[in-house]
Amino acid sequence: MEPRILRVSIRDVEFGHNVTVVEPCNLYECRIGDHCFVGPFVEIQKRVTIGARCRIQSHAFICELVTIGDDCFISHGAMFINDLFADGGPARGDQTKWKSTRIGHRVSIGTNATILPVTICDDVVIGAGSVVTKDVTLPGTYCGNPARRLHNL
């Protein structure tokens, strides 16, 4: 029996002006603002909005229901999560169980950080390898697992 083969693709994306995309990447049914950069091996799923002048580095995964503000930096291998396994396992296609994430303006998210469904305010740095499990309401630098505020910016 032959396997079903799905190809990496860029389809049904609303691009702003002067966007750079390095292939291979998987972008579909999302919006990417003006003057953005998307590196290789990135996946940006449907219902994602990325603001202007953002940089999404290689191997980042941005799942459905994520909104990213302007002037943000998403480093290598950053992962966004929309399914909290509320019933002890994956939602298995029940998208009503998925939660949204909102990232403010001028937010930098470090390499291999994991962002659960939260809201992060403007002017925040999330350190490399950090896991953000709760809303971030004050500007500053946050690090650790779970991420905690270290200091003001």
One-letter-per-residue 3-state SS of 41-89: CCEECCCCEECCCCEECCCCEECCCEEECCCCEECCCCEECCCCCCCCC
Q: Which alpha helices (DSSP H) does 70-146 contain, by range? A: none
Q: What is the mean pLDDT of residues 130-143?
A: 98
| CATH C-level class of 10-85+96-151 | mainly beta
pLDDT digits (tens, 9 = 90+) for 80-91: 999 888 877 888
Residue reference for tokens 């503000």: 69
Q: What is the C-alpha separation between 134 and 147, in angstroms, rounded?
A: 8
Q: Any idea where the domains of the chain sit in the sequence? A: 10-85+96-151
Q: What is the mean pLDDT of residues 122-134?
A: 98
- pTM for the complete prediction? 0.94
Predicted pLDDT at 148: 97
Side-chain half-sphere CA neighbours of 4 within 13 A? 1
Q: What is the mean pLDDT of residues 34-42?
A: 98
Reply yes or no on whether the pLDDT at 98 is more than 90.
no
Span of 28-32, 68-72, 107-111, 148-152 with lowest mean pLDDT: 148-152
Reply yes or no on whether the pLDDT at 103 is more than 90.
yes
Predicted pLDDT at 89: 81
Predicted pLDDT at 91: 80
- pLDDT confidence bin for 146, thresholds 50/70/90: very high
